[in-house]
Copies of this chain bind each other. A is one copy, B any other.
Amino acid sequence: MPSRRHYTLTASCPDQVGIIARVAGFIAQHGGWILESSYHADEGDEENGAGARYFMRMEVKAESLPFHLAEFRERFRVLADDLSMTWQISDSAVKRRVVILVSKQEHCLYDLLARWQSRELDIEIPCVIANHDTFKSFVEWHGIPFYHVPVDPANKAAAFAEVCRLYDEVGGDTMVLARYMQILPADFCARYPGEIINIHHSFLPSFIGARPYHQAYRRGVKLIGATCHYVTADLDRGPIIEQDVIRIDHSDAIEDMVRYGKDIEKAVLARGLRYHLEDRVLVHANKTVIFR
């Protein structure tokens, strides 16, 4: 995983002969040094008429190219159009702007701030937004603005309008629901497709909705899990980015499950967020390709 400045190109297009040759050829012809590259051919699904599709991700050393992103975009567009590509390219020197939404639980927040503090997550956190003020001074100690936006069940619309406003104002490009515990309105979800990342405290699709550990306890499962996914209007049914589980047994009460679960939640969220920030996630047909 290169720490030198690089451009990351992600793309997908209908599969055909010669895609890698043409894309890698374009980069080579300008002297581009490919640091890392990954490809995936999805065969499609005859049942629902989906055709074969090709996915790719390339990291190119920035200094090896004779031009910057604007020119890259202009030149590459011709080839991309010819391949009917959906694509984007980002510059590792431009830090992502991640807004964190929390409620009253600390584990994901502490974990994310520790990673930010050590530059393991090399991002900007322009602000933290919370529906409770529990972590105000903790967040501010880190030099990060904290906004308390209470969510009144009788008037959720106003609260989420304010969250929108803040997120847009600070120029966020990623919103992380770090155990935010509020269901986002459908129009809110629709406004930021592929930008909102949630951590759900169950191994989806098991135990959708409220109190998943209670559901798991009652069913007597032997492992519990957590799922990091993009938020869509369809509750807990967005594209899954990452999942993991931990073993429990009969001696674990619901409180124990909650405690174990926190460790899985923060680990899964951190991994999922990292994949997202490094442009390792390509979404297609409500599923994800993850180029680790």
Q: Which residues of A does B touch, CB under 8 Å?
A: 1, 3, 17-18, 20-22, 24-25, 27-29, 31-43, 64, 105-107, 110-111, 113-114, 117-118, 120, 137-138, 141, 203-207, 219-223, 225, 239-245, 249-253, 255-256, 259, 262-263, 267, 270, 286-290, 292
Contact = CB atoms under 8 A, between A and B. Distances in A.
Contact of A263 (B21, B141, B249, B270): B270
A114 B120 contact: no
A37 to B, nearest CB: 5
Nearest to A25: B21
A250 B114 contact: no
What number of copies of this chain does the assembly contain? 4
A106 B33 CA distance: 35
Contacts of A251: 1, 36, 40, 292
A142 to B, nearest CB: 9
A123 to B, nearest CB: 15
B256 A290 contact: no
Given A20-B34, A245-B223, A288 B250 contact: yes
A267 B263 contact: yes
6 contacts: A20-B28, A107-B118, A137-B141, A203-B223, A223-B225, A223-B245
Contacts of A240: 219-222
Nearest to A41: B35
